[in-house]
Amino acid sequence: MSTFAGGGLLHLAQLQLAQGNAHQAIETLKRALAEDPDHAEAHGLLSLCLLRSRRVHAAEHEARLSLTADATSPLGHYALGSVQLAQRKFKESEETLGTLLDLEPDDPENHRAMARLLELQGRKAEAEARLNTALELAPDDPDTHAALGELQLKAGRLERAEQLADEALRRRPEHLEALVLRGSIALRRGDEKTAREHAVWALRLDAEDPGALHLITAVTSRSHWFLGLWWRYSTWMGALGTGRSILVLLGAFVLYRLATVWMVQAGLVDLARLVNFAWLGICVYTWVGPGLFERSLRREMDKVVLSEEF
């Protein structure tokens, strides 16, 4: 997404959004649009601000206004593609982002946007290729280092993820996504203190950032015996990927059924009954675990005003 030339209000809104002040940026852009209601870039930037504030329908409206004002606006296509991604309209998002890449093939942010879409579709190899392309276009861009590091972390390649996170932080010490990434790596290694420190640092930069809130919640959950087990299980399954995790679940179910059938045939009925209860307990645990984690995350999001400890 190219930086566009605009008035002082547009530049101010860009700075506010970059600093995590989406609500202030929205007000600034409303003032800009009051002066020029058909400014495509202003509508596109407003769409991104609304999306950051989780006002998805309003964000879509502004993105389409941007493209109505200028059908070739890269920012308008970027905004609409991002909105469609948030709506999980993957096919539409891929078409919009494809048009964006045709308009601006040399902008690394456009490749990162496509990589996010590909990753959500489970096309991880293609996502990594897109991020590598972005890195070739801008080797000094910490955003790409952080995005590629996040992908490496999800694949369980901690050493490579750490290298990319450190490189991003070397280039921009207060890079929010890189801080969250570095904290997530520390948490994966069991270093809760370092993970919490990085989460707190990120929250000081943006108290409403979902990644930072997710990290601080994960740190708290990991120290809790009940949620900690689910967090470890979820992290392990996530690293396997969709295909292999399905195979693991199917394999576990087959082993469970074979074991219980053998126990019944061997006259170990009480043991078979115990295994049945254990399997049921595991199923219930993996079912309620995500809900409990999300509830914990919502509590953290409600604490937008940080305590003095933070």
- Mean pLDDT across the stretch 32-53? 93
Q: What is the pTM of this model?
A: 0.70
- Mean pLDDT across the stretch 88-95? 96
Q: Which amino acid is at 102?
A: D
Residue 244 has a pLDDT of 67
Does 5 have pLDDT greater than 60?
no
Over its C-alpha atoms, the chain yields an Rg (Å, rounded) of 23
70, 76 contact by CB (below 8 A): yes
Q: Does domain 142-310 have CATH number 3.40.50.300?
A: no
Q: What is the pLDDT of residues 136-182, one digit of tens each?
A: 999 999 999 999 999 999 888 999 999 999 999 999 999 999 999 99
Dist. CA 160–CA 286, nearest whole Å? 30
Which of 45-59, 74-88, 90-104, 210-224 bottoms out in mean pLDDT, i.e. has the lowest?
Answer: 210-224
Residue 192 has a pLDDT of 87
Chain centroid to CA 183: 14
- Mean pLDDT across the stretch 262-283? 80
Please report, for the chain, the start and end positions of each structural domain, with discontinuous segments joined by +. Answer: 1-139, 142-310
Dist. CA 239–CA 295, nearest whole Å? 23
Which CATH homologous superfamily contains domain 1-139?
A: Tetratricopeptide repeat domain (1.25.40.10)
- Mean pLDDT across the stretch 197-203? 89
Which CA distances in Å does 51 have to 11, 63, 85, 86, 267? 19, 10, 11, 8, 60
The angle at the Cα of 194, spanning 169 to 222, to the nearest 5 degrees, equals 125
Q: How confident is the model at residue 1 (pLDDT cuts 50, 70, 90)?
A: very low
Domains 1-139 and 142-310 share a fold: yes
Q: How confident is the model at residue 223 (pLDDT cuts 50, 70, 90)?
A: low
Residue 224 has a pLDDT of 63
Residue 179 has a pLDDT of 96
- Buried/exposed 104-114: b ≥16 CB within 10 Å, e otherwise: beebbbbbbbb
Dist. CA 7–CA 253, nearest whole Å? 61
What is the DSSP secondary structure assignment for residue 85, as one 8-state letter?
A: H
138 CB contacts (<8 Å, ≥6 apart)? Answer: 108, 144
Q: Is 138 left (phi over 0), alpha (psi -120 to 50) or beta?
A: beta
Does 3 have pLDDT greater than 80?
no
Which of 63-72, 93-102, 162-171, 299-308 bottoms out in mean pLDDT, i.e. has the lowest?
Answer: 299-308
Q: Is the dihedral of CA 29, 30, 31, 36 positive or negative?
A: positive
